[in-house]
Amino acid sequence: MAQANPNADVRAANGFVGTTHIIAVTDVSAVSVKAVCTEAQNEGFIVVAVEDDIANDGCHIAVQGAGATPSFTGATLVVTFS
């Protein structure tokens, strides 16, 4: 979320704790959302949110932790909030 200060300037900020990465599950023919979440956890990330739909396509997950930039099979890093 953006934050406003008293002189009405807007500055970047977020409501998450620490660094949060938003990942798009882009290749559901190769991997499911559940599999990407499992891979994230196995790599030391904490899955903090999952957007899933019935078709299981174009879904997003939010992960935190592990210090490294995430790279998961069948998924693409969309944005990082820090």
CATH architecture of 3-81: 2-Layer Sandwich (3.30)
Distance CA 29, CA 11 (A): 40
Distance CA 8, CA 63 (A): 31
Residue 59: CB partners within 8 Å, gap ≥ 6? 24, 25, 28, 33, 50, 51, 52, 53
Q: What is the pLDDT of residue 66?
A: 75
- Per residue of the chain (82 residues), give pLDDT as tens: 455 555 556 556 656 667 899 999 987 778 888 899 999 999 999 999 998 766 656 789 999 987 789 999 999 999 998 8
The model's pTM is 0.75
Judge whether 21 and 64 are in contact, CB under 8 Å. yes
